[in-house]
Chains A and B, each alone.
Chain A
C-alpha cells in the first residue's frame, strides 16, 4: 500500500514537473481549456441568476381578480361566494385595497410614489389559485370570472413566469448541448497534448517496458498530467467567469438601480467552482486515458 501510494505521489510529481517545465505550452493549453469551459459555465451561471429571479415570483396557477373601485360590499361578498362554489378554484384570498396599498408601499422604490398619490387608487381584489394549471383552463376561468358583477379586471399572474421558466428550460438544454460539444473539444485538446508527450517520451517508455514497468506505471504520469492540465484550465475558466461577471455587474447594477433594485449577478459558489474544477479535471483525465490507450500500444 505504501509503495502504491509512493508510485502515485511520484507520478503526480512527475506530471507537475512536466507541466512546470513547459510553462508557455502549459499556459496556452490552460487558456484554451479555460475559454472553452468558461462559455458553458458562464451560461450556467447566468441561467442560475435568471432562475433565482423567476423563483421570487410564484409560478403557481394564479389569477388576480380586481373589483371595480365602486364595487359594493354585497358585490364583493357575491364574488367571494361564487369563487367558493367554483370547483375549478383551489383557494381564493380577499385582498382589501388597504392591504394592497400597504404592500405597494413596502415595495422598494415605490414608497415615495405611493406617498405622492394622496389617496388609495387600488381596488379590492381576490387572489385566486386554480386547480388546473393548463393555460386553456386558466384562460377559461379568467373569462368566466370577468362576467361577474363588480369585477373590473382579471389577470393571469403566472403566465409570464411560466413563459420565463420555459425559456430557462430551453436555455438549460442549449447550455447542456454546448457544454457537451465543448467537452468533446477539450478531450480532443488533451488527447493531442498527451499524444505529443508520449511521442516525446517514446524512448523512455520503451526502456521502462523492457526492464519491467507495467503499463499502469507508465500511463499514470500521463493521467495525472491530463488531470492537472484540466484543473489548470478549470482555474482559468473560473478566473474568466469572475472577470466577466464583475464586468457585467457594472452594467447590471446600473440597470437594477434604475428600477430601485440592488440586484447583482451572483458568482458561482464554492460547490459550483469545485464542480467546474472537477469536471475540467475529469475531462482532462478522459482525454489522457483515451490517448494513452491508443498511443502507448503503438510503442513496442
Chain B
C-alpha cells in the first residue's frame, strides 16, 4: 500500500533530511515512525501526499509513484489519503462542522451525503453536538480530534498523522491514539509519527525508528 524504496530527501542548500529510506506498509497495517525532533519524521510523512518530493528513490502509494505525479494529479491522490498535520491546519474562522465538511466540498458528494458523512466523522471522534462551535473554543485534544474527523470524512484507506499527540496530556494523547487504533481495527492503514515513544505502549503496531534521516534496523 505504501512503499519507500531508497528514498532520500535533500533540501536546497544541501541539507539531507532523509537518506536511503526503504520500507513497505501493507494494507490495514498500523505503524509508528519514531525518532527525536529533526530525525526526518515529518519529511518522511510529507513524501506520501507529495507535499515534498524525494530527491532520490521511489515512493509508491497504492502502486502510484507519487514523486513523479504531475501537479494537477496531486489533489486526486490527497483525496484518497487522510492527513493529520502537526499544526492541525484548522480554519479558525469557520465552525467545527465547516472544517470537517471542507474535503467533501470538492468531491462529488451531494450536500445531504456530505452532511451525513461529516456528522458520522464527528461522532467517531466524540465531537457530535459541537458542530457550531469555533475551533478556538475547543481544547487542544478536541482540536486534534477535529483534525482527525476532517482527515477521515472522505473515508480514506490510508491515515497519515504527524505528531498527533504533541502538546497533549497523557490522557488526551491516549484518547487520540485510541481513535487511530479504532480506525486501524476496521482496516484503515495508519502511519503515525511521534517523538514520544512512551505514549505508544500498549498499541500493537510496527515501529520504524528514524535517526538523523536514516531508518534504523
| Chain A residues in the interface with B (C-beta under 8 A) | 3, 6-7, 10, 203-204, 206-215, 217
Contact = CB atoms under 8 A, between A and B. Distances in A.
Q: Which label, helix, strand, loop or mixed, suits the secondary structure of the A interface?
A: helix
Contacts of B85: 210
Contacts of A6: 111
B209 interface: no
Q: Which of A10, A209, A213, A217 has the most CB of B within 10 A?
A: A213
A256 B89 CA distance: 69
Given A3-B107, A215-B72, 14 more contacts: A6-B111, A7-B106, A204-B91, A207-B90, A207-B91, A210-B49, A210-B83, A210-B85, A211-B79, A211-B150, A212-B106, A212-B154, A214-B72, A217-B75
A209 B79 CA distance: 10
Interface in B140-159: 150, 154
A248 B200 CA distance: 82
A236 to B, nearest CB: 30
B102 A207 contact: yes
Contacts of A213: 75, 105-106
Interface of B: 49, 51, 72, 75-76, 78-79, 83, 85, 89-91, 102-103, 105-109, 111, 150, 154
B75 A206 contact: no
Interface centre among A10, A210, A217 (most CB of B within 10 A): A210
A210 B79 CA distance: 9
Nearest to A218: B106
Contacts of A210: 49, 51, 78, 83, 85, 89
B49 A203 contact: no
Contact of A212 (B91, B103, B111): B103
Contacts of A214: 72, 75, 106
Contacts of B75: 209, 212-214, 217
A62 to B, nearest CB: 65
Contacts of A211: 78-79, 83, 102-103, 150
A208 B102 contact: yes
Given A203-B91, A217-B106, A212 B76 contact: yes
9 contacts: A7-B106, A203-B91, A208-B102, A210-B78, A211-B78, A211-B79, A213-B106, A214-B72, A214-B106
